[in-house]
Amino acid sequence: MTSTPALSRFEALLSESLGAGQFVKLSLGNYQGQEEALRNIYVKQVLIKRQPMLSFNYRYKTRDIFKNHSLAEGISLIVALIEHDFKIATLFTVQHEYILEHRKNTVDIREKALEVKLETSQAHNKEKKRLINSNGSYLHDLKITDAEGKVYKNAQDKYKQINQYIEILSSLIKELPKGTIKNVVDMGAGKGYLTFALYDYLHTQLQLQANVVGVEYREDLVALSNTIAQQTGFEKLQFVQGTIEDYHADQLNLLIALHACDTATDDAIFKGIKANAELIVVAPCCHKQIRREIERNKVQNNVSFLTQYGIFLERQAEMVTDGIRALILEYFGYKTKVLEFISDAHTPKNVLVVGVKRAESPKTKTENERKAVILQKIKDTKAYFGIGYHHLERLLALN
């Protein structure tokens, strides 16, 4: 096919919008070329080393590929792609939408004025750079983004949560020797938002060929997540049906459990400790077991004037439960941290308890004394609050 007046005009409109700072985005559809599984191409303007460039997102059936070109190269490439392979091209400027379409014997351009003025693509460069790119096809399958990679308004909090979670894990992983993370388990993966994001980060940015497993009890979520993983081409990601308590892993470097309810968090920590995982990260939820212990025994102490109120008792139970969890992790050779994690309407709990495995210490008297001090702290805490036992303590036979 040779260039047509319509294609020449479309090229001019594209060039003018870029030159005037009016360009927002461009998409190519109805692919008729020879490359297998290519569906669409989405183009936006970005700044790379302060130079304006065009970023091409090649959307395939199971993966995305990104390529950047100078403005001149990008314009020429777009024209060639429209001329040979794509039958529809849509250009969005600040105030107009232009649609070029190949029909039977003609090529036409339709123009429509936009009722709402759009922001230029340059505006997106001012946004915080996130570790998880919104163009990942799995995010669309999980209903976080639309087909063009734009985050849905009702999914903004979830997208931010995913990215903060990855940022926190990124800093923790960097504390470990390079290449440590080979086997990862997400206990209680739910819909898999964070499991997919972690796999994406480990493989795409850290270039680690890590195996990632999501453990989830609900069979429908397991089936859905496995389907999305296969469609996305995440070959080392799988989801298995079962409980945290029943799952067994011999080789485990990183264990995560976000919002596992009540003692399920203890089950997850127990699995991580027994597998000698280098990194354990949990976001506890529903601290019922310790609250019941405190309520049952009603020990009088210096905070009784607070715990007579249900809301304060709940908060106290949360802190005591997680405080003992941190002590137990320290007992087994972990450096512990407690971090704040972003919350949203669906996940109001926002505390992360982290254990980073220390280098093994020799079995010296000093090490034995260190452990004895920790056990005494746990014993004193239980006595002060009238706690008969802590579930994690019982799992590890410490009481």
- Residue 122 is predicted with a pLDDT of 53
Tens digits of residue pLDDT in 24-34: 999 999 999 98
Q: What residues form DSSP beta bridges with 48? A: 51
Nearest to 89 by CA among 41, 127, 132: 41
- Residue 347 is predicted with a pLDDT of 47
- Residue 1 is predicted with a pLDDT of 45
CA distance 70 to 78: 12
Cβ–Cβ contacts within 10 Å for residue 380, how many?
10
- Residue 123 is predicted with a pLDDT of 44
Tens digits of residue pLDDT in 144-203: 999 888 899 999 888 988 998 999 999 999 989 988 999 999 999 999 999 999 999 999
- Residue 64 is predicted with a pLDDT of 81
- Residue 63 is predicted with a pLDDT of 78
Q: Are strands 86-93 and 64-70 parallel, antiparallel or unpaired?
A: unpaired
- Residue 128 is predicted with a pLDDT of 57
CB 97 within 8 A of CB 114: yes
Tokens 């945290």 sit on residue: 244
Below-70 pLDDT ranges, the chain = 1-3, 121-129, 342-349, 360-365
The residues, ordered by sequence, that sit 6+ positions from 225 with a Cβ below 8 Å of its Cβ are 189, 191, 192, 195, 196, 214, 216, 239
CA distance 239 to 250: 17
Structure tokens at 162: 């995913």
Burial code (b: 16+ CB inside 10 Å, e: under 16) for 149-188 equals bebeeebeebbebbbebbebbeebbeeeeeeebebbbbbb
